[in-house]
């Protein structure tokens, strides 16, 4: 089993109970700086709307400040929910970011709404006279046409592709997904693919393999390239990590019942989870994979997961009530994987 696995961060900007969205956003900037110093490869910020738990509603607004506050790490969206936007506007925004931070910007593109609330979905629509059409395939093709300068000469917007402000630099586009359909799109369009194991662990290996089987090679990307995003929390012992994960497990269990809350304190969550799951780390009610443990435990589990998927890069998602706990988890992971900056920082 290979040990050459790169690590990145997928940050959802969790809001702790008793704190605020503004503090969650400042925590994101703080964690990004830490990840940069520790030697993580990329830092992606998510897009979620209309809920009390996650402050990351606008990755395009966060990427610039994060990239400006860091020096080495790649920064991107995990991802931009394209159905809400004009493909040309997304191309312009990420062209600006690519021009300001050449070689460091990723444009992760998603298909979902970024919310489970139909009222929020309706509020995000520009045209509210009828339900939004599912035109993701057409939107994605148009967006890639701008970024790659591949719109045909007779296309209505052909001239616009040469006017993106950040040229000659630009973002690297990725397709995000947790389904077979997203894998097929990424393969047919010759895009790198980011699979969300933390959303859909069941069948994930088959989906990533489908992407590889259907991949259409090009000079731009001659071979398929995939990363996997996985939920993981590291602490000084297996028992402590399991206890600290209770906050995320509680919000996951509540979300499956249609109830959305800020991230609760650990002791509140432990009592709730004990009543619901009798302390099991992987209860079927969760419906998601959560890797927890001491550094050696988490390292072994993540290496096995990477081997199962056949990937050499993982994006780690962690949701905790205490920001110091989240920082500590990423520090311990950096030590466990011998990242370049491991041991160079101290948790505040």
Q: Which helix (H) or strand (E) holds 7?
A: strand 6-11
- Give yes or no for a contact between 171 and 192, defined as CB atoms under 8 angstroms apart: no
What's the pLDDT at 342? Answer: 84
Fold of the domain built from segment(s) 6-336: TIM Barrel (3.20.20)
Q: Per-residue DSSP letters for 278-311?
A: TT-SS-TTT-S--EEESHHHHHHHHHHHHHHHT-
- Give yes or no for a contact between 60 and 29, defined as CB atoms under 8 angstroms apart: no
- Say how many residues make up the chain: 348
User: How far is residue 189 CA from its own chain's centroid?
Assistant: 21
What's the pLDDT at 347? Answer: 46
Question: What does the pLDDT profile of the chain (348 residues) look like in tens digits?
Answer: 446 899 999 999 999 999 999 999 999 999 999 999 999 999 999 998 888 999 999 999 999 999 999 999 999 999 999 998 999 999 999 999 999 999 999 999 998 776 667 777 777 777 766 666 678 999 999 999 999 999 999 999 999 999 999 999 999 999 999 999 999 999 999 999 999 999 998 899 999 999 999 999 999 999 999 999 999 999 999 999 999 999 999 999 998 888 999 999 999 999 998 887 665 555 544 567 999 999 999 999 999 999 999 999 999 999 999 999 999 999 999 999 999 988 765 544
Q: Where along the chain do its domains lie?
A: 6-336
Q: Smallest Cα–Cα separation from 172: which of 100, 74, 83?
A: 74
What's the pLDDT at 208? Answer: 98
Q: Within 13 Å and on the Cβ side, how many CA atoms surround 18?
A: 7
What's the pLDDT at 346? Answer: 52
- pTM given for the model: 0.92
What's the pLDDT at 1? Answer: 46
Handedness of CA 58, 61, 65, 67 (dihedral sign): positive
What's the pLDDT at 285? Answer: 47
- Give yes or no for a contact between 288 and 220, defined as CB atoms under 8 angstroms apart: no
Name the DSSP letter for residue 151. -
CA distances from 18 to 11, 167, 325 (A): 20, 44, 16
């Amino acid at each position: 089993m290979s040990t050459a696995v790169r690590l990145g961060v997928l940050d959802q900007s969790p809001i702790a109970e008793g704190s605020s969205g503004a503090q969650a956003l400042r925590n994101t900037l703080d964690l990004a700086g830490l990840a940069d110093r520790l030697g993580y490869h990329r830092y992606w910020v998510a897009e979620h709307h209309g809920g009390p738990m996650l402050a990351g509603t606008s990755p395009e607004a966060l990427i610039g400040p994060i990239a400006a506050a860091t020096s080495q790490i790649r920064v991107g969206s995990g991802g931009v929910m394209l159905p809400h936007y004009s493909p040309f506007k997304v191309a312009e925004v990420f062209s600006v970011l690519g021009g300001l931070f050449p070689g460091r910007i990723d444009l992760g593109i998603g298909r979902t709404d970024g919310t489970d609330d139909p009222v929020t979905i309706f509020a995000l629509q520009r045209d509210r006279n009828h339900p939004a059409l599912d035109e993701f395939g057409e939107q994605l093709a148009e967006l890639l046409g701008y970024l790659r300068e591949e719109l045909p000469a007779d296309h209505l917007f052909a001239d616009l592709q040469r006017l993106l402000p950040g040229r000659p630099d630009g973002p690297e586009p990725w397709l995000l997904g947790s389904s077979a359909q997203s894998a097929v799109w990424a393969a047919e369009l010759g895009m790198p693919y980011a699979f969300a194991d933390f959303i859909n662990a069941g069948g994930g290996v088959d989906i990533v393999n489908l992407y590889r089987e259907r991949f259409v090679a090009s000079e731009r990307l001659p071979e398929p390239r995939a990363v996997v995003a996985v939920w993981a929390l590291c602490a000084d012992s297996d028992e402590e990590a399991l206890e600290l994960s209770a906050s995320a497990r509680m919000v996951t269990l509540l979300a499956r019942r249609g109830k959305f809350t800020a991230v609760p304190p650990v002791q509140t969550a432990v009592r709730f989870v004990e009543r619901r799951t009798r302390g099991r780390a992987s209860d079927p009610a969760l419906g998601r994979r959560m890797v927890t443990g001491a550094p050696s435990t988490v390292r072994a589990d993540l290496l096995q997961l990477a081997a199962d998927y056949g990937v050499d890069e993982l994006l780690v998602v962690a949701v905790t009530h205490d920001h110091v706990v989240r920082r500590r988890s990423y520090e311990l992971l950096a030590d466990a994987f011998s990242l370049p900056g491991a041991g160079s920082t101290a948790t505040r």
